């Protein structure tokens, strides 16, 4: 059984992936860290980011947080400005 999740991309992550959002199928036991590993394999330029925050359903998440079907994940890159 798969675990379909939506991934929203912002800033540089959107530029790297070339899309504002992705829909991915992860193993049923997938965690945030598994998702990041998969994305960094598929889009190696993501490895060059200094930091990358992840939110699941609007709340910041750690890499060991389990993902559930229909979760909405946001990748939040470093923000610069002044």
Question: What pLDDT, in 10s, does the model give residues 17-68?
Answer: 999 999 988 777 789 999 999 999 999 999 999 889 999 999 999 999 999 8
pLDDT on residue 28: 72
pLDDT band at 2 (very low <50, low <70, confident <90, very high): low
Q: So what's the pLDDT on residue 26?
A: 78
pTM given for the model: 0.86
Looking up tokens 């992705």, which residue turns up? 22
According to CATH, what is the number of the domain 2-76? 3.10.20.30
Token duo for residue 47 = 């490895």
Sheet holding 2-9, edge to edge: 21-27, 2-9, 72-76, 53-56, 59-60
Q: Where are the domains of the chain?
A: 2-76
């Amino acid at each position: 059984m798969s675990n379909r999740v939506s991934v929203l991309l912002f800033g540089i992550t959107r530029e790297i992936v070339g899309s504002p959002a992705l829909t991915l199928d992860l193993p049923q036991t997938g965690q945030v860290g598994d998702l990041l590993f998969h994305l960094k394999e598929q889009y190696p330029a993501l490895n060059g980011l200094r930091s990358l925050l992840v939110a699941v359903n609007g709340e910041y998440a750690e890499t060991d947080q389990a993902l559930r079907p229909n979760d909405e994940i946001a990748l939040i890159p470093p923000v610069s400005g002044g």
